[in-house]
Structure formats: structure tokens, C-alpha cells
Structure 1
Amino acid sequence: MPFYIRVLSPEEYGVVINFYSFISILLVIFTYGMETGFFRFSKSERFSSVYTSILSSLSVSGFLLIIIITFSSDFLSHVLYDGQFRISIILVGWIIAIDAFISIPFANLRLNNKAIRFGIIRLSGIFSNIFFNLFFLLLIPYLIKNEFIGKPYAIFFESGTGVFYILLSNLISSLLMFSFFITEILRLKGTFDKSIVISIINYSWPFIIVGITGMIIQNSDKILIPILRTDGFNELAVYAANFKIGILMTLFTQSFRFAFEPYFFKNSDKGLSSYALIMDYFIAFGLFIFLGVNIFQELINILLTEEYLYGNVVIPVILMAQLFYGIYFNLSLWYKLTDKTYFGAIFGILGTIITLSLNFITIPIFGMIGAAYSMLFGYGLMALFSALYGNKYFPVPYPLKKILLYFVAALVLYIINKLVVIDFYLFRYLFKITILFVFIAIFVLLQRKSGIKFLKS
């Protein structure tokens, strides 16, 4: 993000964010619950056939997606981007198809606790993406400017936009990650079984709705801001840049999800107290991140340029929204373990209706802050309804009083940090560090014996 806002215009950066919002939603649609289904059916004696059937299904749907997007790219470019970015739209189809396919080999690594290989492949994709972004957006323009590249090649490279090169870099990194799995895929001995795919879809369809609704809540604001606001792509750029300041919370909740889903499918027979402790620690650590990012916001703002700073107002709201999304995911174990997965679909649809309705009402009036609060209300209500129904069908002894005290402590400390203004640099940051230590002290005090037991385990 700091790189993009310095090499792209706000409008171009807004278009990039808009593209990735569509990618996020379509990726869930074209994975259609196969990842969660894979975890559930992987215990089957016919593991190879399960693996092969899922990959075959995703291959066919991915191919169809590429064909559809390629032939409709001209129409989509005129509807969404005034006739621009047609080739970029085609790249989007390829990215979604490949990423949907490799989600299953990645899920297999998670299932088998191959964290090192998982990390190596993911990091290879990340670093290759960074490399090609720097190559296309920084090195090539420098070489062209200083005439190190011949005119025909310069004309060729200049024909592409920053948006195109960002998506091309993404596609290259996706292909690189795919290459790590080629040998494994070729060695598969299972055969395609239509009945397996049907069984997985029958089990996973609520998760498809959950995933789609989750992505709509997460990305609808970035699709609607350019539509509902006069200077939409510029405002979207500012909103998205500040949204990404909350990346620590997003990474935390995503890492939790990667570890927690395989854990509870493998350990569903363990006591409910373990789930309660996980929620306890999850919320405490999430609120610590909330405080840390907000308290040291002026340091984090180094990542932004001056024209993006007015969007800081959305950061605390976005951080809290992401935390509630993580809480909702944590709560979702009850309907997965009781096979009442349709509740996940109901909560997802409800959250989507609320968020979209609020987006259409608040974005035209309040702009980006309206979008941020819409997301917070959407995730907050989903978590609330899941907690209420979960207590009925699968009661987990969550330490509610302790969790409430975490929230009260974090919000009080956040307000104190806002109200107390210290001009002297050293004292100001000593005060901020003290606030964080106060929260840690409150956490340790509330844990008592349960915290010690959990750390020992």
C-alpha cells in the first residue's frame, strides 16, 4: 500500500482496490465451499478420490470462468470503467481460477500440519508479487525515462497501465505458487467421483453463502463508493489506504482462522472449556492490537502521504469491525460441529442485508465513515445472533464478564489516549507505552489460574 499510493494516482489506486474487491467475492463463489468440505471429508478412506474430485471440479469451473470473463470483458469494461481496463478484467479471471484451484493443496498442507512448506510457498508468492510490482512499476519506468530501453519496447511497456501491471504481477505469483504443487497433483492416484463432489456441495452450500456474504460485507463498500460518491475512485483510494492500516487485525483474524478450523475438526471431542479459553485469549489479543494501532497511529501514518491522512477517522472503526468478524468466526464452531450449517447462511444473509442497506443509506451522506460503521454493525449483529443461538444449541462456557471487562478497559484506555495531549515527544510515547502495559496488567489480573493453565497446555 505505501508503494502503490506513491507510484499511482489516487484514482488509479481506487481502481486497483475496486478490482480486488470483485476478486475477493468471486474467489469465494468459485471455490464454492470446497475448502471447508475438504477438511470435513478428508478423514474418509477414499482420501485420494476426495482430493482428485475436488481439484477436477475446480479445474472445470475455473476454465469456464476464464472463458466467460474473456468473452464479456469488453462489456464489463464499458459498464464498470468507461471502456477501460479490458485486458485487466481478463487477468482477473485467470487469477481467480488459479487461486481457487490452489486453495485445496494449501488446505491439505494445513490439514497435515506442514506449516513450514505452507509458509515457504506463501512467502514465495508474496515476494515474487513484490518483485514484479517493483519491476513493472519502478524499474521499467526508470529505464524508459533514462533511455536504457529502446523505443519499440518503451512504447510496448507504456501501453500498459499501473492497474494492469499490478494484476499481471499477481498472476505471475499465483502461477509460481501453483508450480510448487504440480508434482503432488500429478502423483494423485484417486479418480474423479461425482458423488463425492455432490456430497461435499450438499455439506458445504451454507458455507458458500457464508463466504459470499462475508466477502460482500467486507468489500461492498469498496464497490459502492465509486458508484455512490461523486469523486468515488479518489475517495475509495483514501478509504482503502486507511483500511489497510488495520492489516494487523486482519492478519491476526486470518491466521486464527487458518489454525482454528483444522484444530476443531480434529479435536471436536475435546472439552468445551478449551473453546472458551481460545475465545478469551483471542478477544484479549485482538483488543491489544486495537489499542496498539490506535495509540501509535501517528507513527503508522508514515506509511501514508498527506493527501490520505484525512481518512484516519475510519481506522478505529475498521479495527473493531475486523475484531468482531474474528469473534463471529470463533462462534461459528457450534453450527459446524452440530451440522446446523444453515444457521451460518442465515446469519450471513442477515449481515449482508444490514450492511448493504446501511451502505446505501450512509455512503451518499457520510462517505467513507458511513461505510466503516456499516461494516461494524453488520459483523457485530452477526456475532450477536450467533452467540444467542449458539448458547441454545451448543452452549460453550465463555467467560462473558471477563470479555466485557476487556472491552471496557480497551475503550476507556483508547479514550484516555485521545483526551491526554502531551507535547514533549519522549513523555508522550512513554505515556502511550504505559497505556498498553496497563491493558496487559488488566489481562493478567483477570486470567489468574485459567491463564496459567492455558499457557502450560
Structure 2
Amino acid sequence: LQLFLVFGMGNSLVRYLIGAADKRLVFSSHFWPLLAVSTLGSLAVFLSAGSLSAVYFAEPLPGDAGLIRLAALILWFDSLSTLPYSLLRAENRPLAYVSGMSLQVVIYAILVVYLLGARHSGMTGVLIANAVGSGAVLIFFIPLLKNNLSAAFDSRAFRIYFAFGFPIIFSSLGKNLLDLADRWILDRLMGAAVVAYYSAGYQLAAVANLAVAAFTLAWKPFLVRAAAEKGARETFARIMTLTIVALCLLFLLISFFADNLVKLSFFGYHLIQESYWPGLRVIPVVMVSYIFYGAYINLSVGCDLKGRTDYYAWTTGAAALFNIAANFILIPPLGMLGSAWATLFAYLLQVALLYYLTRRLYPVTYEWAKLLRLGVLTGLCFAGAVLSGSSAPAELLFSVLFLAGLFAFRIMDRQVLRGLFSLLRRTTAGEE
């Protein structure tokens, strides 16, 4: 529901605040519509709590409506905090951004321990802790709002902001479907036990997803700033290469050492229970999926700069539908590996579609020869370790060979790295 209450305004603010002549006007023209929509939406949920609890809970109890009201309050707080967080991203203020996140986590953790441990408040305690944490963050952002908000509103500019942000609702829904449909289908076709194995493997592979998510937070404001720099397209091509290099290295490290890591015993306990170890075999396939997802994020340059976020909705929606069909086809013969392969092919389709749609919108000549060499190098190192019996010494050796190969095959060089670091310093200069 929060997707609809925010309707992509956070993404739009990052895009249009950077380089704006009147930043207060841009911020205000994003904030007032979001305030109106999120307030009306949250209020509707709050006032309909009784009816919603009867629908949501199989056997509603008298206190369930209160849970819905707490959820509505959390929804309102979190929606209003979206633009301050986006403002901090646009202004490159990571310390303030992390401070807000940390404040919420710390308050939530303390209250959960107290309300569940000492007061035995159950779900009500969890929601109260969440509401207090979210409210505290909004209070934390009051000085930021005061300094950046005015009564002004630019209706003509808002139409541009809305056109940019609204399709992101559907691309986000498509991304959620792409990420979760495999488990639902796997459960229907193979049972809950197989889903548990599969999810255990996904937990370790999700390190790559976190890396891509962190990259995305920095990438969106960076590309807007970098677009004004000389040689921006060449820079975007180099960053694509570096991103895929980092993800390929992560792919090898997780694929090589996850098995040994989870089997380490700490006071008789393992990172993942032994009964779930069969799910580890999906890790390499899932990791490759996230490599393609990293490429997809890099390809977003044209969509963001030219305001064609509808391409995100179309490509993600197509990938999600393909993933559903591929799961039904591949799971019967391949089991949970079929589900992992279906997701990989879906991400590959997503990348291919976005590249096709944006290649004329904002042409970037990517370093295809380097990317091809990188793919071959990664494949050879992975195959070499597997053929060597996947022993720890062999995996360590091929990890080192991969790093050496990056320079031996001229995928990376010091001059390019120095140039990129120089650009990063110029385009990410900000004040805390």
C-alpha cells in the first residue's frame, strides 16, 4: 500500500532536485501532494480498521482493529519520511541518512525487547515499537523539512514529477512478483520442505542483492550529476564494467565458500541448520541472477535522464510474467534448481528488454569486449574450482587467479580506476 501512497515521489525528487535552480520549490512540489495522498490513504485504513480486520484475520478478535490502526499510523509516518531520505540521497549526506535509519532500528529493537520480553505484548508490542521508531524518525527530520519546505507549489512541474514517479509503482510490484512468485509456485508443485531448502540457499545468495541495493542508492543521484560531466557516457560504460566485476567476484566468493561457511560449528550450532544444506546448490544460479540485476540497474541511465520510467514497468512486468511461466515449466523436471534457473532467465530477459528500449533513448557504448572477457574468466575460474573437487585450497587459488586475470586480460587497469575515483570525488562532494 505504501507504494501507492508515495507513488514514486522519492525517486522523482532524487532525479529533479539535483541541479535545480529553486530546490525548495522542487521539494515542496513533491511534498504537498505526497502529504495529501498519504494522509487520506492512511486515514482511510485507520477509519476502516474494523472492516479490514474482519477481512484480514481468519478469526478476528476485538483487539485486531487496533492492530490495523497501528499499521495505518506506521504507514503514514513511513510515507512522510520518504522524501527526507530522498533529499539526503540527492544532497549526498550519507551520515544523516544512516543516522535516521539507525535511530529507527535502535528504538525498535529496544522497545521490542521490552514490550515482548517484559510486557509480553505480542503483535501489539511489535507494532507499537515500529510506530514509535517510525515516528521518531519523522521528528528527527523536522529540521530538514523546515529548511527545505515552503508553501509554494508548481503544478506544471508536478505533472512531470508524477509522470516520472507513477510507473515506479508498477515496476516495484513487478519486482516483488519476480522475487516471490518462485516460492509460491515451488510450494504448490514440490511442497513446503523444498521451499525451506530453496529459501536457505537464497539467504546466502541475497548478499549480492544487498550489494546491488546499496549500489542503487548511490547510483541514482550519481548518474544525474555525472550526466553533466564531460565524457559521461564513457563513464557510465566503465561503471557498468566495474559493477559486473564486483558482482562476479562476489559470485565466486559466495559460490566457493558458502558451503564451508555454513558447515562451521559454533558451540554446536551452524549458520544454517544441517537439514537445509541441500538448498545450497541453488546459490551459483541465484548469484548469476543478481549479476544480471546489477546490469539492469546500470542500464537505467537513459530511463532516469529522459524520464521514461514506464520502461521499468514494462520490462519488470514482462520478466515477472516470464518467470511465472518458466517456473511451471522447469520445476517439474529440475525441482528447486528449475526455479532458480527460471529466475535467472527472467532477469536476463529484463536486461535484454531494457537495453533494447534504451539503446536509442540514451546511447552508451558499453565495453562489450571487456564484459565478454570477464564472463569467460569468471566461467573458467568457477569451472576450474568445481573440476578440482571444490576443495578450499582450489577455491582460494581460483579466486586469486580471477583477480590476477582482471589485469592480465585488461579488464581493469589503474588509469581507468584513477579517472573514476577522480570523477566520484567531484560528483559526490556534499556536506553533512
- TM-score (ref. length: structure 1): 0.77
Q: How does 1:82-97 map to 2 (within 5 A)?
A: 90=68, 94-97=73-76
Q: How far 1:125 sits from its partner (Å)?
A: 2.9
CA distance in 2, matches of 1:366, 1:89: 42
CA distance in 2, matches of 1:130, 1:371: 35
CA distance in 1, matches of 2:279, 2:401: 29
Please state whether the residue corresponding to 1:326 is helix, strand or coil: helix
1:247-299 residue CA offsets vs partner (Å, 9 max, x unmatched): 32122111111111011122322321010111010000011111111111124
The letter of the residue matching 1:124 is L
Match of 2:163 in 1: 202
Indicate conservation of the 8 Å contact 1:249/1:286, yes or no.
yes
Q: How does 1:297-336 map to 2 (within 5 A)?
A: 297-301=258-262, 302-336=270-304
CA distance in 2, matches of 1:368, 1:63: 42
CA distance in 2, matches of 1:92, 1:225: 30
Match of 1:396 in 2: 364
Which one of the candidate residues 203, 225, 228 is aligned to 1:269? 228
Match of 1:19 in 2: none
Matched positions, count: 403
Q: 1:279 to 1:176 in 2, by over 3 A?
A: same
More displaced stretch, 103-112 vs 27-36: 27-36
Please state whether the residue corresponding to 1:285 is helix, strand or coil: helix
1:243 corresponds to 2:243: no
CA distance in 2, matches of 1:136, 1:364: 46
Q: How far 1:225 sits from its partner (Å)?
A: 4.6
Q: How far 1:364 sits from its partner (Å)?
A: 6.6
Q: How does 1:380-395 map to 2 (within 5 A)?
A: 380-395=348-363
Indicate conservation of the 8 Å contact 2:15/2:304, yes or no.
no
CA distance in 2, matches of 1:359, 1:411: 25
Indicate conservation of the 8 Å contact 2:234/2:365, yes or no.
yes
Please state whether the residue corresponding to 2:198 is helix, strand or coil: helix
The letter of the residue matching 1:442 is G
1:142-183 residue CA offsets vs partner (Å, 9 max, x unmatched): xxxxxxx7xxx6xx54xx37xx76666555543443332234
The RMSD of aligned alpha carbons is 3.2
More displaced stretch, 274-283 vs 373-382: 373-382
Indicate conservation of the 8 Å contact 1:38/1:50, yes or no.
no
CA distance in 2, matches of 1:73, 1:30: 20
Q: How does 1:13-52 map to 2 (within 5 A)?
A: 26-42=1-17, 43=20, 45=22, 46-52=25-31
Please state whether the residue corresponding to 1:393 is helix, strand or coil: coil
More displaced stretch, 188-197 vs 202-211: 188-197
Indicate conservation of the 8 Å contact 2:9/2:34, yes or no.
no
Q: Identity across aligned pairs (percent)?
A: 20
Indicate conservation of the 8 Å contact 1:52/1:188, yes or no.
no
Match of 1:291 in 2: 252
Indicate conservation of the 8 Å contact 2:252/2:399, yes or no.
yes
Q: How far 1:351 sits from its partner (Å)?
A: 1.2
Q: How far 1:380 sits from its partner (Å)?
A: 0.9
Please state whether the residue corresponding to 1:414 is helix, strand or coil: helix
Q: 1:191 to 1:453 in 2, by over 3 A?
A: closer
Q: 1:330 to 1:52 in 2, by over 3 A?
A: same
Which one of the candidate residues 37, 53, 72 is aligned to 1:73? 53
Q: How far 1:66 sits from its partner (Å)?
A: 4.7
Q: 1:292 to 1:174 in 2, by over 3 A?
A: farther
CA distance in 2, matches of 1:35, 1:61: 17
Match of 1:185 in 2: 145
1:256 corresponds to 2:208: no
CA distance in 2, matches of 1:88, 1:444: 60
Which one of the candidate residues 340, 343, 358 is aligned to 2:311? 343
Match of 1:8 in 2: none
Q: Which runs of 5+ in 1 are unaligned?
A: 1-25, 141-148, 423-427
More displaced stretch, 37-46 vs 391-400: 37-46
Indicate conservation of the 8 Å contact 1:98/1:174, yes or no.
yes
- TM-score (ref. length: structure 2): 0.81
CA distance in 1, matches of 2:253, 2:127: 32
